[in-house]
Amino acid sequence: MATLNYSKQRQAILDLLQSRKDHPSAEVIYQTLRKSMPNLSAGTVYRNLKLLTELGQIKKLTGLDGVDHFDGTTSPHSHFICQCCGKVDDVFFEADESLNEKAASHCNGKIQSHHVYFYGTCNECLKK
């Protein structure tokens, strides 16, 4: 197995995130990629996730379960979190585009964005 250079490792992380819609954590990304890239280190994965987030190529989701999750879909959308199984689904719905303006007068600073999480029970868990 040839050692992949850093840009190829970064591309592999980006490809993985763009191909799956389940918002994996850094640990899940690392465990998935190391099966085909045995030379990959956890540190490289964390470093590239930070860089890709700074470049705006992926989004970081915080405040879910204590660890950061990552999203390869960067278009504006909300998230639905199943409180039964922990699944994080995309919701292609802008909750309120004027929310930033409405909140502006209540904030000590300039608002750039907001993020909405919807909580509930997913259809699979409802069937159980």
Which residues contact Mn ion by CB under 5 A? 71, 73, 90
CB of 61 vs Zn ion, minimal distance in Å: 17
CB of 22 vs Zn ion, minimal distance in Å: 12
- Nearer to Mn ion among residue 4 and residue 82 (C-beta): 82
Task: Answer with the entry of Zn ion, Mn ion, none that 125 interacts with (C-beta below 5 to 8 A by kind).
Answer: Zn ion
Asked whether position 28 contacts Zn ion by CB under 5 A, the answer is no
What is the per-residue DSSP string for the chain?
Answer: -PPPPHHHHHHHHHHHHHH--S--BHHHHHHHHTTT-TT--HHHHHHHHHHHHHTTSSEEE-SSSSS-EEES--SS-EEEEETTT--EEEE---S-TTHHHHHHTTSSS-------EEEE--HHHHH-
Asked whether position 122 contacts Zn ion by CB under 5 A, the answer is yes
Asked whether position 126 contacts Zn ion by CB under 5 A, the answer is no
Task: Answer with the entry of Zn ion, Mn ion, none that 126 interacts with (C-beta below 5 to 8 A by kind).
Answer: none
Asked whether position 64 contacts Zn ion by CB under 5 A, the answer is no
- In whole angstroms, give the CA distance from residue 113 to residue 93: 15
Task: Answer with the entry of Mn ion, Zn ion, none that 116 interacts with (C-beta below 5 to 8 A by kind).
Answer: none
CB of 13 vs Mn ion, minimal distance in Å: 16
What number of other Cβ atoms are within 10 A of residue 58's Cβ? Answer: 20
Number of residues that bind Zn ion (CB under 5 A): 6
Give residue for tokens 């490289």: 44
